[in-house]
Structure 1
């Protein structure tokens, strides 16, 4: 009821322990707090907070237009309602190294378990679009060093994302990943890998957890969680999937109103009122009210 009873530090420690175990961490993207509760209930190990989803939710393209305050606010809303660790997309850190340092501390305060910072030039663009540019290696390393230095909770995960594969190839991605780990990155997010062999190559190049991005309509094939685990991937995200599913259903519903004049034919596809009430724990709130608000107002004439 209300918020998670697990502290942010405990979620971070649990996330670190899960990664250390070698078991795959599956992190679907939550597009709001309610979807985060659903992800937890279904038995996943973590929640991902996508910059692309946040941008789209605001009606904006994913080109670095969102602000730190917007990202931190939505991250806090999502992290508060789930016992799962949340990993958030912090784009390029919202500025220069000092801005990156502030980003880390603001997102620590938001209660997430970790963030990832990318090596794109600002304004960035979706990692699966052509025309990306990456910063030089020293600039990328400064971002990670600033993030590590600013971190107050040692369990807060600082992940480095590199987009260099789509520009300079796999060997450059391996070299950049190694350098980012040397700069202090706790994990590596190699964006837009072409196949499983490329994920395996990154896995062999570094000794920290590796993340796979299974976004639909992108550069990477949609490998199964077992395929990814078999090549040593530690975290898999499905960043925009739930939003795409929800928006697809919403569009079909609107078309049905236009075509049929009502949503009668779509009702079987909808989440029921009972299921919604179960997910938001109406029963828990009702019990809380009954136990706390026990006073009798019948004789109150003021």
Structure 2
């Protein structure tokens, strides 16, 4: 009997064990994850932006670019289900419908949508902006309604912790679960107490994001499993060593090491964060002046 990627991921969730999903962003990273026995992969938008296009994760990629990368990664992963980052859905509810259909056709097991305003930012960068919970609810409902494979999982991510606080993040998480999201993702809790509080307070299967050098403390898999988390994504597990070893290799060849900030921000600075941010601010200021 042929099974879909979504049904395979749902079976893993039903097993009750923590699913560790390393970040994948191209055919090689996906093949490595498949060959080393992981049960799922995570298509990281940040990884695709950085490694695939030499861009920071600030909303510059399009749905078409991400969908094409999803196809490549799904093929390389084989039977390993792919959880796919879809940012804000790339527009209004009708764009979310098109995004879900494209991702579903590409063969992903789950699609992740977030409640940031467009253009979004990496969840571990400052100054994120959100849409209202009601507005995101419409987009989430559009995604749920658009599925043709009922086993495809829809993951709802809230970035409310940084701009609005942990209480609002938990309120939004529970609301999105009530709407019908299959898995809930509260981005960037800032300490172990918050990680534990989310686990106690949110009544849904939970995903957590382990970003190297990010806002969330690195937490052991057995601790996460004991708290009840079901999926732990590690978007930088392959990308960070790739960058660090690449810089070391280039330095040995005589290259000059760039001066960048530590953590995720430094990674994005290597691919133009400062320059692209200046472009954004320039036209933001012009918009304000002309209002």
Instruction: Give the whole-Å Cα distance in 2 for the aligned partners of 1:31 and 1:244.
Output: 12
Mind listing any 5+ residue stretches in structure 1 that lack a counterpart? 1-5, 260-302
Match for residue 120 of structure 1?
116
Alignment of 1:188-207 (within 5 A): 188-207=184-203
CA distance in 2, matches of 1:221, 1:206: 19
Q: Select which of 36, 41, 64 maps to 2:30.
A: 36
Higher mean displacement: 236-245 or 193-202: 193-202
- The DSSP-based 3-state class of the residue aligned with 1:188 is strand
2:57 to 53, 62, 67: 62
Out of 141, 146, 151, the residue aligned to residue 145 of structure 1 is 141
Give the aligned length.
Answer: 253
1:151 deviation in Å? 0.8
**TM-score after normalising by structure 1:** 0.81
Does structure 1 conserve the Cα–Cα contact (< 8 Å) formed by 2:170 and 2:198? yes
Secondary structure of the residue that 1:37 maps to in structure 2?
helix
2:9 counterpart of 1:15:
yes
1:91 aligns with 2:87: yes
Whole-angstrom distance in 1 between the partners of 2:94 and 2:201: 29
**2: CA distance between counterparts of 1:36 and 1:95?**
28
Counterpart Cα distance in 2 of 1:207 and 1:173: 13
Cα contact 1:88–1:112 (8 A) shared by 2: yes
CA contact (8 A) 2:88 2:113 kept: yes
The 3-state SS of whatever aligns with 1:234 is strand
Deviation at 1:146, TM superposition (A): 0.4
Per-residue CA distance 1:75-133 (angstroms, 9 max, x = gap):
11000122210011100000000000110000001111011100001111111111111
Q: Does 1:73 align with 2:68?
A: yes
1:220 to 203, 216, 223: 216
Task: Show CA shifts across 1:29-79 (max 9, x none).
Answer: 012112212112212110001111111121111111101110000111000
Aligned to 1:115, the other structure's residue is in SS state: strand
TM-score by length of 2: 0.84
**Take 1:220 and 1:199, find their aligned partners in 2: how far apart are those partners?**
9
Looking at CA atoms only, which structure, 1 or 2, has the larger radius of gyration? Answer: 1
Deviations 1:154-197 (A, max 9, x none): 11010000000112211111110111111111101100012233
Q: Secondary structure at the match of 1:149?
A: helix
Q: C-alpha distance in 1, partners of 2:203/2:33?
A: 29
Structure 2: where are the runs of 5+ without partners?
Answer: 256-291
Q: Distance in 1 between matches of 2:54 and 2:32?
A: 24
